[in-house]
Structures are given as C-alpha cells and as structure tokens.
Structure 1
Amino acid sequence: MCGSKATTIQQLRKVGIKAAAGALFYSGALNLLRGSVYRRSENARPLRSSFVILLYHRVNPHNDPFFPAISVKTFEGQIKYIKGHFEILPLTDIIFRVRHGLGLPKNTVAVTFDDGYRDNFIYAHPILKRYNCPATLFTATNYIGTERWMWNDELAFAIRSTTKPSIAIPGVQRAMSLSSVSSKLAALDLILGVVKGLPEIDKGPFLEELKRHIGEARERSNPLMLSWGELKEMVDAGWEVGSHTASHVILSRVSFNQATEEIRLSRSDLERQLGRPVDLFAYPNGKREDYNAAIKEYLREAGYLGAVTTVDRMNREDVDLFEMGRKSPWEECGPKFALRINQSFW
C-alpha cells in the first residue's frame, strides 16, 4: 500500500510539473520571466559568459527501450525552441571567447553528440541543417566505418533477443528474470552498472561469461555506427568533430599509458580521415570518477582546447575548460524542456 501511494504521489508530482511548465510556456510567462531575470542580472553578477552544453547520443523514431533515443519529433522541437530563444554557437567559439575573456551572448547554448551513431546522420543532421544549427560530435573511432558495436549496445541487443527465462549474473547473489520486457530492462540496467564499475581488463571476460548465459543473439541488421563517408559529409556541412578515445574506455580504469594511447589514436584517426585538426575531447562515461588530473593535464599539453564531461551542470565564466558540464535533454514534453533550459540560466 505504501509503495502504491508513493508511486501515485510521484506520478501526480510529474503531472503537476508538466502542467505548470505548460502554463508558463503557452501563456508566454516563461519568456517574461526570463527577461526579468536577465534585466536584474545587468545590475548584479553578469551572466554573459555563462553557457549550457546540451548532450545527445541518439535521435530516431524507433521508440526502442533497449536503445534509448530522443524521438525525431522531440529533437526537432527542442532545436526549433533553442534556435528561437537562445544563441547557439559552435563549442570552439564558446571556448575561444571564454579563454580570452571576450564574453558571450546571453542565452548561449552548444549542441553536442557522443559516440557516433548512424542515426545522427540520418535523422539529426537534416534537422540541424534545416535550422542552421552548429553541433559537435565526439566519436569513438574504433567503431566508425565498421560493423562493430560498443559493448553496451551488444549487451542490450543480446538481452532483448534472448529467449532464456532468467540469467545468473556473475557477482550478483540472485538470478534475474528475463521473462518480460520490464524484467529484461531491469537486468540490463543492473548489468550496465556492474560492468561500468569494472577495470577495463576485466570487462571482456565478464561480458563473455554473460553471453554464455544469455545464448547467441540473432543476427544484427544495418550498421549501428557512422561510416567515414557519412562523418565526412557532416563535417563538410559544418559539424565540429572531437575525439572520444578509440575504443570508448573509461580512462580512470586503465593505466595512464593506455589512456593517453587511446586519446592519441582517436585524434590521429580523425585527423587522417577528415583532413582537419581535432582539438576537442569528451571523456567516455564522463562522470567525475571517470577521468583525473593527469588526463586533463595530458590533454592540455597535447594542444586540446577543452574537454566535456557528462556532469549535469551550467558552465560559468570561471569554468575549467577541461571539465565542462553538459545537460542531457530527455524531456519529451516541449514545455518541460523549455522550463529546464531556462532555469539553467536563472
């Protein structure tokens, strides 16, 4: 009963937030409120060097819970909104202005993508072109132009495809049910957390043992990641590209030498294939524990301009340019997205 009551309260709270966001959005009050905040800020701490970096991974119409993505309709709505109410700048322009104390336009936003999924080219790229919106893509180069999938996607595909009723997860005391979509998703979420916490050297054996428990997945169709030709077409159209390591290792879980080699190889591959310098970086997984001071210093000495994390925060004028935060806009509700991004500047 208590659990049911708590769930109901949580659902009502979500409905209330959505309703409040809708009221602010459709009445125009959100725009008035934003203007009031900025007018007050003229006589207080200036916000002109503050900026938000949005983080996307996948955009497609598939609505597959095993491969989370922003829907095409939602993505276009978000881009249309920020194009109409915010100043969208390339990430390198923002870094240059902050580094040299030049200030930024009010409401400055950068759009970024991680990993290099092919749906970025198929669905996101045309929308960004339509709205003349710059964007930055951070790619794990070992997967570009290949049939390979990253381990988390392979795991999701295997669990979605399996007909096994349950799975015994190494290191977990109880077996996990795989009898329904919801139970499969719960098992997947648990396994992802376990694997991300392992040293890189232990991930392969752990995943191989899991595959033996799950059974062979059915054959995959269509490349999941970008081809080099598609990536080059995006870059020629104005996308910035940054490195995201070669194999998407969590840098704090490998030796310093292996970490720097991953960074070096990624940059080298991109510059060779695309014929232009690469000076932006995104930490794989990107939480505070996933990188360290030595990695940051290596990036500085290697000539990178800056690096982004997945830490959910606004970036102020005193931000460490090698530890910039990003916000993941998962809101399917347009008014909730508008409210959240405006709140970032308040």
Structure 2
Amino acid sequence: MGEKTRLKEDCKTKIAQTLCKLNIDGLLRWVNKNSLLVVTYHGVYDKFCRGTLPLFTHLHVDLLREHLKFLKSNYNVISLSEFTSCLKERKPWPERAALITFDDGLRNNYEVAFPVLKEFDLPAVIYLTVNYIGTDKLLWFDELYLLLKKCLEDAVKTELLAEYLGPIPDSCDIGELYPICSKRLKNKSIMERMEIIKRLKQLACIEGNPILSEPFKFLSWEQVLEMKSSGLIEFGVHTATHRMVSELSPDEWEKEIVAPKNKIEKIIGNTIDTFCYPNGVPDVDFFQEHEKFLKSRGYVCAFSAHEGLNSPKYDQYRLGRISVGSDISSEINFFRLNTAGFISFLRTKLKFIT
C-alpha cells in the first residue's frame, strides 16, 4: 500500500470511529430497518496461513469473528431459505434483516469460516463456482496472484512482465502490482487471459498449475454435504467456471448458468434457485436479458456487486450487497457504518468516498 493510500485510509478510519461514537450507525440502522443487508465475503484465513495476504478477497478470521459478533447483536440474521420464502410468498422480511454470503466456494470457507459460523450459530450462503468444486483448479485471478508473486520473488525483470501485462511501475510490491494486472486481464477475452497466464508460467518456470497455496483451494463435495447437513449453510450458483455472464454467448448460458444448478441439486438433494453474478456490476457484467434468462430457468433472485442495502422496493435479480475484504472495509467502525448504509449513501449521493 502506498503512503498516500495509507494516509487516506487512516483518515477514513478516524472519521468512522468518530461517527460511530456519535451512534450515527445506530441511527441509520433504525432509519433502514426495513431494508435487507447482504454482506459478502470470499476467502478467510487464520494464523496457520503464512503471512498476510494482500488480497481484498481474503480476510483474517479474527476480523470475521468481530463482524459476526456485531451482526448477531445488531441484526436479525436470516437464512437463504427464509429470504427466498419471503420472495415467493411476497411477504416482508423481518426488521433489520441480514444475509451472510460467501462467493466462489473456497475450502477455507469450510476449514476456517464454518467453525466460526457454528460458534455464533449464524446461517450463511456459499455461492459455488461449480466446476471447480472437488478439483485442484485455480481461478484465473488467483493463479495470476501466485504467478506474479513467484515472478517478483525470482526477480523477473519488469520489462518482461510488461511485455504481457502492459506498463508496470518500477519497484512495486505484490500488493500494488496485482490489482493493476488483474484489472487489465479482467477486460480481456478469456482466450487472451489464458494466453497471458501461459506466458507468465513460462516466466515463472512453472509447469501446469502453481503450487496450490491454502487460501486458493476449493471445497470438496464431501465438505459441501457436511456443511449442508449442519442446517446452517446453504448453497447457490456462481456459474460453472466464474465467467462474467456478459462475456458469454447465448449458447453458453445453459452450460454456465443452468448446468451447475442441476449439478448441485443432484448432489445435495435440495432445490437451488438463487444465483450470484461473477464480478457482478449491473449493466456491465450482466444485463436485463440475463435476468430474464435466470427467471425462465427457475432462479428466484440473483445477487450483484451493487454496493448498498435492498429497500422493500428491490429488484430481485440485481440485489445489492456490502462487500467486505482485507482493506478498510473490514475495520469494525467502517463496517458498522457501511452495513448501516452510510458509505453507499455517500458514494452514490455525495460522490465523497471513492
């Protein structure tokens, strides 16, 4: 993290602490008591993971525990089944309703997060990248992280990386390099991404997949079934291979959206009727035609990356969420304000926080 970014986050943290001391978050929770809060996590790691992961998508378990304690004390955390029942029966959800979600289906959801959820007796939903469950596959952006880390450790020359990834700042660390490169690759076609990953493997002198680091391993189906049997954890579809649906051709929709639904239903024996868009920016990563397709194939709702609470007049195929990661979003005072709706209000109305 650069000095300018660090100072900016320190300033935001102090402001958040002051506002929480004034109970602004409590006031907003009362104002927004009829809105649904959906909190999103990805990976969770513990003290046995070597070092700190400079990835937004991976959160330390101590922070997760702090968040869950707060949610249990201040919200009515409901299960996915309770939420979809409200949708189907067209009835309001409880006041201060909150839903906890995890995206991708990483193994640490079982090994690290699941015990904490059981500790607090809180339900959650895991959105599975279905074709990766029970395999040693890596998501391309996690593979990119490991490859870049290996290249930096091996002192691969910046100009060689730049040949495939575009201009790269001199003397940057993995925490600065990875966001730049992942953003660039996200805007490329799947074939272009695969080719760049292949070239990086050659630079890093790696055959096949990089050594799987614990935070990037996927769940097994046995772990899915064990969590399902607990009664706390439910599951939904995050596509078959984490493709953004906007980059799919219509003849790929069945394979990426419907086939994984059928596969989960066959394995766990429950109806699967909720979807989560990869990346998930409305009108960028998915459009109305995708929403109509989801509805036609039996999905009752879909979760997006739109940052915000869901009012009673919600759009059930582009539900908003509050995404939490290893940056300031996980700091407890910022988390309290964000989940109460304060930060999204500033972003959308005042354009103050960027």
- After TM superposition, the structure 1 = structure 2 runs for residues 58-77 of structure 1, keeping only pairs within 5 Å, are 58-61=43-46, 62=49, 63-66=52-55, 68-77=57-66
Query: Which amino acid is the alignment partner of residue 157 of structure 2?
Result: P
Match of 1:97 among 60, 78, 86: 86
Partners of 1:8 and 1:159 in 2: CA distance:
23
- Do the aligned partners of residues 11 and 53 (structure 1) sit closer, same or farther apart at CA in structure 2, a change above 3 Å counting? closer
The corresponding residue for 1:311 is 306
The corresponding residue for 1:276 is 270
Residues 95, 321 of structure 1: 8 Å contact kept: no
- After TM superposition, the structure 1 = structure 2 runs for residues 1-346 of structure 1, keeping only pairs within 5 Å, are 10=8, 13-21=11-19, 23-24=21-22, 29=23, 33=27, 38=30, 49-61=34-46, 62=49, 63-66=52-55, 68-162=57-151, 163=154, 164-166=156-158, 167-170=160-163, 174-175=167-168, 177=170, 182-216=172-206, 219-220=211-212, 224-238=217-231, 239-288=233-282, 289-330=284-325, 331-343=329-341
Secondary structure in structure 2 of the residue aligned to 1:277: coil
Residues 302, 316 of structure 2: 8 Å contact kept: yes
- Do the aligned partners of residues 220 and 59 (structure 1) sit closer, same or farther apart at CA in structure 2, a change above 3 Å counting? closer
Partners of 2:93 and 2:43 in 1: CA distance:
28
Shift of 1:169: 3.3
Q: 1:193-219 CA distances to partner (integer Å, 9 max, x unpaired)? A: 111111223322232223333432763
Secondary structure in structure 2 of the residue aligned to 1:311: strand
Q: 1:110-134 CA distances to partner (integer Å, 9 max, x unpaired)? A: 0000000011001111111121111
Between 61-70 and 132-141, report the one with greater CA deviation: 61-70
Partners of 2:25 and 2:188 in 1: CA distance:
46
Shift of 1:81: 0.9
Shift of 1:298: 1.1
Shift of 1:221: 5.3
Query: Which amino acid is the alignment partner of residue 299 of structure 2?
Result: Y
Q: 1:277-321 CA distances to partner (integer Å, 9 max, x unpaired)? A: 211111111112111222111110111111101111111111111
Residues 165, 181 of structure 2: 8 Å contact kept: no
Partners of 1:9 and 1:131 in 2: CA distance:
35
Residues 107, 218 of structure 2: 8 Å contact kept: yes
Residues 49, 98 of structure 1: 8 Å contact kept: no
- Do the aligned partners of residues 257 and 81 (structure 1) sit closer, same or farther apart at CA in structure 2, a change above 3 Å counting? same
Query: Which amino acid is the alignment partner of residue 165 of structure 1?
Result: K
- Do the aligned partners of residues 48 and 201 (structure 1) sit closer, same or farther apart at CA in structure 2, a change above 3 Å counting? same
Structure 2: any 5+ residue segments left out of the alignment? Answer: 346-354
Structure 1: any 5+ residue segments left out of the alignment? Answer: 42-46
Residues 308, 325 of structure 1: 8 Å contact kept: yes
Between 123-132 and 63-72, report the one with greater CA deviation: 63-72
- Do the aligned partners of residues 7 and 176 (structure 1) sit closer, same or farther apart at CA in structure 2, a change above 3 Å counting? closer
Residues 169, 210 of structure 1: 8 Å contact kept: no
Shift of 1:152: 0.9
Residues 98, 317 of structure 1: 8 Å contact kept: no
Shift of 1:15: 4.4
Partners of 2:42 and 2:20 in 1: CA distance:
26
Q: 1:245-281 CA distances to partner (integer Å, 9 max, x unpaired)? A: 1111111112011133211221122112212221111
- Do the aligned partners of residues 246 and 170 (structure 1) sit closer, same or farther apart at CA in structure 2, a change above 3 Å counting? farther
- Do the aligned partners of residues 67 and 143 (structure 1) sit closer, same or farther apart at CA in structure 2, a change above 3 Å counting? farther
Residues 169, 191 of structure 1: 8 Å contact kept: no
Percent pairwise identity: 24
- Do the aligned partners of residues 199 and 9 (structure 1) sit closer, same or farther apart at CA in structure 2, a change above 3 Å counting? closer
Residues 21, 336 of structure 1: 8 Å contact kept: no
TM-score normalised by structure 2 residue count:
0.83
TM-score normalised by structure 1 residue count:
0.85
